Each structure stands twice: as C-alpha cells, then as structure tokens.
Amino acid sequence: MLGRFGIERKLLLFGLLGILTLALVLGFLSYRTTKENLIKEAFNRLTVIRESKKQHVEDYFDYMKDLLTSTSEDLSIKEFFEPFDESFYRLPSEVGVNLGEAKRALIEEYRRNYLPRVNYSIPGAPQPKPVNYYLPRSEAGIVAQYLFIVKNPYPVGEKNRLLVPQGCNATYCVLHEKIHKWIDRFARSFDLYDVFLIDTNGTIFYTDFKEKDFATNLLHGPYRDTGLARVFREALKAPEGTVLFADFKPYEPSYNQPAAFIAAPVYKGGRLLGVVAFQLPVDKIDAIVNFNYRFKQVGLGNTGEVYLVGEDHYLKNNVRFLKKLEEENPLVKSAGTTIEVLKVDNPAVERALAGESGVTFTKNFFGKKVLAAYSPVNVFGNRWAIVAEIEESEILADLLSLKKNRNLLVALVLMLFMVALFILFVKHTVVKPINQLSETARDLAEGEGDLTRELPIKSSDEVGTAARYFNAFIAKVRSIVESAKRSLARTVATATKMRELAQQVKARVQQEQQAVGEATSLAHQIANPLENFKETMKETVEQIQLANAKIASTLSSFKELKEVLDRTEEVSLSSISQLNDLAKQAEQITSVVQIIKDVTQRTNLLALNAAVEAARAGEAGRGFAVVAEEIRKLSEQIQKNTEQITETINQILNRIKETTSQISESSRENLETLRRASSTVVSQIEEATTIMDSSSSKLKEASNTAQELVEQVESLISEIEQISTASSQNAQVIQQILEKIQQIYKEVDNLNRILSQFKTGSDE
C-alpha cells in the first residue's frame, strides 16, 4: 500500500507516526511514573498513619494498665474494700425487704427490661436461658439488685446516677453513697465503661454502671464463663501489681455487646482482699483508632480507614464505614457493631499477626483494591494487627488530569513544530535530487538497452554518490553481458562433446544388460535344486526329532515304572514288617489272656474255700456263701471267654504267618523280574536315544550347509539383479543426459537472442 506513495508523502506519514509514537511513549512513561509516585506517596502516608495510630493504641492500653495498677494499690481502695464487702452481706438483715417480693420483682424486671434487649444473634454469644438462671444465688445479691436496679428510678444506661436507694440506712447504702461518688467521677474522667469490686469469694459487691452482673458471683453464678470471670480467677493467683486482660467478646450483662476487661488483685499487708476490674470503653478505642472521625484531615480521604484485628481475626473496633456495612451485612446490622462480628482474612492481617510490618495491596470489606500498611500491635502481651488502608481508585483519581499533564502537552506542540521544519528541509535537500535521479533512470530503462550510456554526476552528496554507484553498476552489467556471450560459445562446444560421449556410454550399457540377464537365468537354475534339497533335509530332521521325542517319552514312562516298582517293594517290605509286628502284639495278647486264666483259676479256688467256710458258719455264713457262689460262676465264665480269645488269637497268628510268607516269596520274585526287564529296556532306549541324537545333529549340520548354499546363491542372484537394476538406471540416466543436452542447446539459443539486444561496444 505504501508503494503507491511518493517519498514526500512517506516522509510526512512517517514523521506523523513518529510524533504519535513518541507522544504515546511519553504519555505512558508519564502515567507510569506519576502512578508509581502517587502509590509510593500513599504508602508512605499510610505508614506514618499506621505508626502513629499503633503508638497511640499501645500507649492507651499501657495507660489503662498503669491506671488499674495504681487503683489496685491506692490506699483508699484498700481501706474501704473490706468494710464495704462485709456490709454487702449484711444487707438482708439491715433492710426491711421481703425476700420473696424482691425475687418476684427481679424476675419481672428481667422479663420486661433485660432479656428482650439482649442480642442473641451475635456470633459467639451465649444463648438465652430461663429467667431464674440469671438471678443472684445469695440473699444479699437479690436484695442488692432489688434496691439498686429494680427500685432505681433512673433508666437503663443511667443507673449509675443513683447514690443511695430511698430510705436505705444500711451500712452498705451509707458506704455506697460515699464511695460511689468517687468511683463514678473516676470512671467518667478516664472514659471507663464500668468499674468492678470483687471479693475473694467471687461476689461482685460493687459496680459503677449497675448492669445485671452487679451482686452476682463469678465462680458459680450466671456469668462464670465470661471474660470477666476468667481474669478474676487469674488475678486471685497473681502477685500485687499484675494486670490480667480478657479480649473483646460478647458480654451478656451488656446486652451481648463486645466487652474487654482488665483486672488486678488488691492486697493489704500481704493479704489478698479481692480484685478490682475495669470494663474497657469501646467508644474510646473507636475514637482513638478513627482519629476522632477526622479522616480527611489526617490524609485518609474519602475511602481510607484504620482498624484493629485480634488473634482470632475478628475486628476489635468499629470501622469507619459501619453504616455502609450495616446495609450490606445483616449480621452487622443486627449487632450494630463490627467488633467480634466481622472476620478479616487478608494478606495484610496475616502478615501483621505473624509479626511483620510493611505495605501491600489487598481488598477491603467491599471487595475493592486498596493500599494497606500493616504492623503488629502489643495489647497486654497479646499480638493484634493494625491496618491503615485507602482505595487505589482514590489515589489514582486525578492521575490523567490536564493540570498534571500540561508539561506533556507543551512538549507535544514543540515536537510538532520541529517535525514540520524537518519535513521542509528533507523535501528541499533530498526529495528533489532523488526525483531528478528517478527521471534519468527511467529514460535509461525505457531505451534500447544501450549499456554504454551513463548518468551525469553533478554533486558530491548522497545523491551524487548514488549516481556514481549507478554508473558503476551499468559498467558491471555491461561486463557481465560480454562475459555471458563468450561463455555461451564455450557452452555450445562442450555440450556437443558431452552428447557424443553419452551415446558411446549408452551402447556399452546395453551390452552389460544383456550379459547380466544371462547370469541371472543361470543362477536361478542352480538355486531351485538346492532349495528342494534344503526342504527335504529340514523335513527329515523334523521327523527324527519327532521320533526322538517319542522315544524320550517312552524312556520317561519306563523310568517312572521302575520308580513305581521300587516303591512297591518298599511298601511290600513295610507290610511284611507290620504283619510281623501284629503277630508279636497278638502273642503278647495271648500272654495277657494266660494271666487272666491264672487269675480266674485262683479266684475259683478262693470261691470254693469261701463256700466251705460259709457252710461251716451255718446260718450266719449263708449270705457269704451266696456271694462266693456268684464269684465262682463269674470266674468260670471269664475262663471260658479267655479260652475263646486264645483260640481266636491263635487263628489270627496262623493267618498272619501264612500271609507274610506268601507276600514275601511272590513279591520278591515278581519285583526282581520286573526290575531286570525295566532296567534292560531303559538301557536299550537310552542307546537308541543317543544314536538318534547323533543322527539328528549330523542331519542338522547337512541342513545348515544346504541352507548356507541356498543363501549364497540367493545373495549372488540379488547382487546380479542389483547390477541389472543399476545398469537399467544408468541407461535411463544416459538418456536423460542426452535430453538435457538437447535442452541446453535450446536455452543457449534463447539466451543468445536475449543478450544480442544489449549494446556493449564489443559487438562490432
């Protein structure tokens, strides 16, 4: 497409493209540099804000720690702590309150003004329980809540305004009026949410704010599983000056709003009196982290904020955009807070909780990309994370504004002016001489091919240099044309000689093809009988191997027969041995039977003697005579049985001896005959196998020799055929050479006609 334009237009087009490219490059570099500077500046600003707020937060919690320590060690606290605690337990006896009436009034108070206001939908919050569960376990606790909560004329959130219940002259009420003035003023001065005095039994005998934890017990009461109860138990074991911390969690007496506690033991003369505790103020921590909500003044613009995250990844302060989060998150809206409700998992928080400080890009609560500066925060020995962030879109909002890029626009205008001057200069000094050179070259190209003509040289610049090189090129072409004409003449002579040689080679190749054909026919005549002989030998070897296999099978069968005969002889000998053993055992039985005979004979004699003695005894020996007669009959019966056994055993012995004799004689003769016959057959078969193996080996050698002869003849035939193929190919190549030589003649004629069109000065 550009080939249709002249040099003047091309220079103008390339100049404009160069300006546009340069403008884009400068714009991109300016944009990137400005963006990097803005992001770097924002990170630096966020780092300063993070460090400032980190220090402020740590200072505040350290201040709370020091404040609680000084309070627990204050002499005034130590002086009134024990009397105040003792007076609490005397309340039921010092006031005229009906305990049943007070309990019913408390139940109604809990049902009407407390439980309906507790938010049980917050994550991690305890679930509602029966009303009786929340009541104090002691009579003093019920009376105290009745006087200071039910009978308190001030609304919820202002119960601390009551100094003493109307008409109460009990010691506790008198002390409460004096002590409450000081503690309430103290709590408001230091922005504390609540102050607790707890004895060693776990009873909260005083609170400033008079929520439902007042007068309950932290060891076995309704709030024994809260953070306040945990730090109380730890404080009981801690030395003086120790401060314990319970992180933010939903606290039921504060309507399940998040609450954090610190506690310290109170000692007097080395004796533990109890524990003093603070409920930390959420509003104060929010004000510190959120710069008292002056975000723009501190450089956080419209989208920046700072927040704290605990080790459980839950927020520890209410964030700047709480209202917006309430619109998008039903849980936040229900709780009215982000503390212990909104969980934060992003790289900035992860690294800060791992103990790292730095800056990074991440996403905020609304999924938008933000710049974040993060760092760990030490809160009573616990590691929290502090993150200061601002949306990237706000940082880069005015990146492309005209004000920030006016220098770039001025530079572009100056470059346009310089390019215009450059185009005018090039047109006068370059384009004009090139046009003259173009016209001269066109005249030369459209003429009659006169290579003796040259371009006039009028200048010493690049155009003049181009003209000189053009003339040199024409001279070189003229020389080439003259050389080509001379080469054509030599080529014609060479081609003529090559054609004569090719024809001679073609005749010789035809003679070789005839000789190769005869050799191939003779080789095939030799190969066929050899192939038949080889196949015959192969079949003979296979038949011998088959016969040999059958003989081997027969030999194996005879060997197995011999082994069977050997085993039969062993079995026969074993049977004879067992029959002999049986005869011996039968003879032993005969001996035993003989012993039984002797015993029965003696028994018979004894029975006769007993009968004689019984007869002598007369009537007194009649019973004995009967027994003796029975014994005699029994011995006679046994004797008859033993005689039968002896006769039977003798018959068995005779039969065993006859059988043993017959088996022994016949087995030995038959087995010996079979063994000699089988041994003879095995020897003959082995000799036949050896002969067959030898014959098979010799036939295999003969077959292999025949195979080698066949392969040699086939190899010879293959080589002859290759020679024949090569000879045919040579004939084809010679024919192609002749055809190419003919083509060379034609091309030389054409080239000669073309070169004759140019004048070189040597044609005459």
CATH code assigned at 521: 1.10.287.620
Q: Is the pLDDT of residue 202 over 90?
A: yes
Q: What is the pLDDT of residue 253?
A: 97
The mean of the pLDDT values for the chain is 80
pLDDT at site 510: 72
DSSP per residue over 723-750, as a string?
Answer: HHHHHHHHHHHHHHHHHHHHHHHHHHHH
Mean predicted confidence (pLDDT) in 424-453: 63
Q: Which two tokens stand for residue 295?
A: 């975000």
Q: What average pLDDT does the segment 517-527 reach?
A: 66
Mean pLDDT confidence for 56-64: 97
- Domain for residue 457, yes or no? no
Alpha-carbon span 465 to 442, nearest angstrom: 18
Tell me whether residue 440 is in a domain.
Answer: no
pLDDT of residue 262: 98
Counting Cα atoms < 13 Å in the Cβ hemisphere of 163 gives: 9
pLDDT at residue 584, as a whole number: 74
State the DSSP H helix or E strand holding residue 383, giving kind and residue range, or none if neither.
Answer: strand 382-391
The pLDDT, as a whole number, for residue 605 is 73
Evaluate whether residue 124 is within a structural domain.
Answer: yes
Tens-place pLDDT, residues 220-269: 999 999 999 999 999 999 999 999 999 999 999 999 999 999 999 999 99
Query: Burial of 52 by CB count in 10 Å (0-12 exposed, 13-18 middle, 19+ buried)?
Result: middle
Neighbours of 207 (CB within 10 A): 26
As a whole number of angstroms, the distance between CA 565 and CA 549 comes to 24
CA distances to 34, 703, 718 from 530, rounded to whole Å, are 97, 11, 16
Q: What is the pLDDT of residues 289-321, one digit of tens each?
A: 999 989 888 889 899 999 999 999 999 999 999
What is residue 124's predicted lDDT score, i.e. its pLDDT?
84
Q: ∠ CA(620), CA(624), CA(628), 5° rounding? A: 150
Mean pLDDT in residue range 114-126? 90
Residue 282: inside a domain? no
Contact 25, 411 (CB under 8 A): no
Percent of the chain with pLDDT over 70: 64
Q: Is the pLDDT of residue 710 over 90?
A: no
| Domain region containing 471 | 464-754
Domain termination site, one of 229, 253, 279: 229
Tell me the percentage of the chain whose pLDDT exceeds 90: 42
> Does the structure show a pLDDT above 70 at 41?
yes
391 lies in some domain? no
> What pLDDT is recorded for position 569?
63
What's the CA dihedral at 48, 51, 57, 62 to 10 degrees? -140
Domain end: 203, 229, 255, which one? 229
> Residues 369, 392: contact at Cβ < 8 Å?
yes
How much is the pLDDT for 445?
A: 62
Of residues 343 and 421, more confidently modeled: 343
Token pair of 247 as six digits: 């992180």
pLDDT for residue 455:
63
Ordered DSSP codes for 83-114? HHHHHHHTHHHHS---HHHHHHHHHHHIIIII
Phi, psi of 388 (to 5 degrees): -110, 125
Point out the domain boundary residue: 207, 229, 251.
Answer: 229
pLDDT of residue 659: 64
Q: Which amino acid is at 307?
A: Y
Residue 273: pLDDT over 80: yes
Which pair of tokens denotes residue 730? 């040579």
Q: What is the pLDDT of residue 303?
A: 92
pLDDT value of position 214: 98
pLDDT confidence of residue 30: 63
Token output for 709: 């002869």
Residue 656 within a domain: yes
pLDDT above 90 (res 118): yes
Question: Is residue 99's pLDDT more than 70?
Answer: yes
Residue 439, pLDDT score? 64
**Do residues 113 and 174 make contact, with C-beta atoms less than 8 angstroms apart?**
no
Mean pLDDT of 645-654: 71
Section 14-33 average pLDDT: 66
Confidence of residue 646 (pLDDT cuts 50, 70, 90): confident
Asked whether residue 533 carries a pLDDT value surpassing 60, the answer given is no
- The pLDDT score that the predictor gives to residue 178 is 95
The pLDDT of residue 402 is above 50: no
Number of structural domains the chain divides into? 2
% helix, strand, coil for the chain, step of 5: 70, 10, 20
Does the pLDDT of residue 436 top 90, yes or no? Answer: no
452 pLDDT more than 50: yes
Does any domain span residue 437? no
228 and 251 Cβ atoms separated by less than 8 Å: yes
